[in-house]
Amino acid sequence: MNRLLASLFCLLTLWAAPAWSEGNPQTQLPRVTLSAGMHLIQAQVAATPEQRSIGLMYRQEMPTQEGMLFVFEQAGVQCFWMKNTLLPLTAAFVADDGTIVNLADMKPKTLDSHCSTQPVRFVLEMNQGWFAKRGIQAGARLGGAPFTRSK
């Protein structure tokens, strides 16, 4: 039931994206540097409902070490789809401490739903294959300012 509600919320949020964003990628969001082992990631931060609803839509390309970090107010089962997204992406669903809960490869321009397997507040989207090429799997930890380390 929670997955269904989360999926419906995502659908409604994306359909409610403002008309001015139609066809225009958002490229000027704040950025944060994250780490995955020895690899650095420059991630745009989508922290508002509007920024999250647009995400990486309409982007024609994205540099290898760049991605987008979606930040939610509270942990929940987060579901993503690829309507109006032109790039194949992998979503890493990430716990508060930076642990990758699960990864999902996503095909461009589809309405297939890809969800976290447990409640999370963060989702990091990278070019598809980025995690696999570096041997980064569920259970690995990301580092950087947004993630808290448990002691």
E strand residue ranges, 48-119: 66-76, 79-80, 89-94, 100-106, 114-115
| pLDDT value, residue 24 | 86
Judge whether 148 lies within some domain. Answer: no
pTM: 0.84
Nearest to 35 by CA among 127, 98, 122: 98
Q: How far apart are CA 57 and CA 85, in angstroms?
A: 4
pLDDT of residue 23: 77
Q: What is the mean pLDDT of the chain?
A: 88
**Is residue 103's pLDDT more than 80?**
yes
Average pLDDT, integer, range 119-126:
98
Query: Is 89 within a domain?
Result: yes
Q: Has residue 91 been placed in a domain?
A: yes
**Cα radius of gyration rounded to whole Å, the chain:** 14
Section 105-119 average pLDDT: 97
Question: In Å, what is the CA distance from 33 to each residue of 55, 106, 129, 130?
Answer: 18, 23, 20, 16
139 is in which domain, residue-wise? 2-143
Q: Evaluate if residue 15 carries a pLDDT over 80.
A: no
Q: How many domains does the chain have?
A: 1
pLDDT 10s digits, 32-77: 999 999 999 999 999 999 999 999 999 999 999 999 999 999 999 9
**Domain CATH number, residue 46:** 2.60.120.1140
Longest Cα–Cα distance of the chain, Å, equals 45
Q: Is residue 151 part of a domain?
A: no
Residue 73 included in any domain: yes
Q: Are 142 and 36 in contact (CB under 8 A)?
A: yes
Q: Which two tokens stand for residue 46?
A: 């989508």
pLDDT, average across residues 90-97: 98
